[in-house]
Amino acid sequence: MNATLDITALQEEILRLKAERNALILAHNYQLPEVQDIADVLGDSLALARAAARTDADVIVFCGVHFMAETAAILNPDKVVLLPDLEAGCSLADSITADELRAWKAEHPGAVVVAYVNTSAEVKAESDYCCTSSNAVQVVQAIPEDKEILFLPDMFLGSYVQRVTGRKNMHIWMGECHVHAGIQPLQVQTVVKEHPRAELLVHPECGCSTSNMMLVAEGVLPAERTKILSTGGMLQHARQSQAEEFVVATEVGILHQMEKQNPGKRFIPANPDAVCPFMKKITLAKVRDALRENKHVITVPADIAARARTAIERMIAIG
């Protein structure tokens, strides 16, 4: 009971501070349930970037990870962007540096660089396009077929995009999200067998995504019940589907919204240990402190922001 009272009191204080500061709270689908519940906008990286681009709030509190707050700061140079915990990083974003990208570009002069949004501002500044899992296929399809493509940093999303688009001149950086990489094909097959009527929803960052596409082609997994989707796409599909059970292959934080939006339907994690420790860094107390004490202001140097903004705006415009 005391924990419930504490959560309620914190949420009420956050709402009061938010009104006083004309603030917007953005939260990713992987955040703690109580943080999701106080967000003005809850969504995947693309939805949150679009919300950041169009807001008239004075302050943006980003309940996500560092690269997301950087993206909001790039889109809103005149606003205060707060990240409640500076330790909310991303193993995938850390898998490539700007120096490494510059060296890769030197090996492929003239190639078009497509950077997943899970990258630092410096990497985005070296890129031609950004993308998210919701529009990566469409971004690659928007690039002339004769253009060589460098896709980074997620090898699983890159392999998925290459398979869907059929692009032969696409090079893929060998990075990964350690949480999604840990969701393995055998785990997925086992859970699907235990729930034979369930639909399978797979995030394309998962270590099992490309394998699952092959297993679908081979008839091991049911083609009509297997969907590879972004987190936003998963939520939308779960609402629209007539299925009553879903096996979900992504970070388990999304299950809170799935259950909240779909009473009566059942959602089973493909791997219940798929928990991102970085996404769970942000708590209600830290959100309150961010609003009360201006913790922690995220800024991007003007020259880097100017170069990165073009790639981000292309991402927002496509799909």
Could you tell me the CATH number of the domain that includes residue 107? 3.40.50.10800
Say if residue 58 is in the same domain as residue 119. Answer: no
Q: Domain tally for the chain? A: 3
116 annotated ligand-binding residue: yes
Q: Is 231 annotated as a binding residue?
A: yes
pTM recorded for the entire structure = 0.90
Same domain, 34 and 19: yes
Give the integer Cα–Cα distance in Å for 304 and 309. Answer: 8
- Extract the runs of DSSP E, i.e. beta strands, from 41-165: 41-43, 59-63, 80-82, 112-116, 129-131, 149-152
pLDDT the model gives residue 216:
67
pLDDT of 221 reads 73
153 domain residue, yes or no = yes
Do the domain assignments include residue 274? no
Measure CA 260 to chain center.
20
- Residue 129, marked binder: no
- Residue 163 sits in the same domain as residue 185: no
174 and 185: one domain?
no
Q: Is 276 annotated as a binding residue?
A: yes
Domain with 108, as residue range(s), is: 93-178+306-317
- 28 annotated as a binding-site residue: yes
Per-residue pLDDT of the chain (319 residues; tens, 9 = 90+): 466 768 999 999 999 999 999 999 999 999 999 999 999 999 988 899 999 999 999 999 999 999 999 999 999 999 999 999 999 999 999 999 999 999 999 999 999 999 999 999 999 999 999 999 889 999 999 999 999 999 999 998 999 899 889 999 999 999 999 898 888 888 888 999 999 999 999 998 877 666 666 666 666 677 788 898 989 999 999 999 999 999 999 999 999 999 999 999 999 999 999 999 999 999 999 999 999 999 999 999 999 999 999 999 999 999 7
Q: Is 90 annotated as a binding residue?
A: yes
Please check if 133 is assigned to a binding site.
yes
The answer on whether 296 is annotated among ligand-binding residues is no
In the prediction, which pLDDT does 1 show?
A: 43
Query: Based on the domain organization, do 231 and 292 belong to the same domain?
Result: no
**72 and 106 inside one domain:** no
CA distance 68 to 105: 24
**pLDDT on residue 134:** 87
Do 165 and 313 sit in the same domain of this protein?
A: yes
Q: Any binding-site annotation on 177?
A: yes
> 264 with 186, same domain?
yes
The b-or-e profile of 7-46 (16+ CB within 10 A means b, else e) is: eeebbebbeebbeebebbbbbbbbbbebbbbbbeebbbbb
Q: Is 45 annotated as a binding residue?
A: yes
Q: What are the pLDDT digits (tens) for 248-262? A: 999 999 999 999 999
For residues 124 and 167, state if they share a domain.
Answer: yes
- For position 209, what pLDDT does the model report? 65
| CA–CA distance, 91 with 70 (Å, rounded to integer) | 16
Cα–Cα distance for residue pair 295/303, rounded to 1 Å: 24
Does any domain span residue 171? yes
Residue pair 253/279 in contact (Cβ under 8 Å)? The answer is yes
205 is in an annotated binding site: yes
**Same domain, yes or no: 23 and 64:** yes
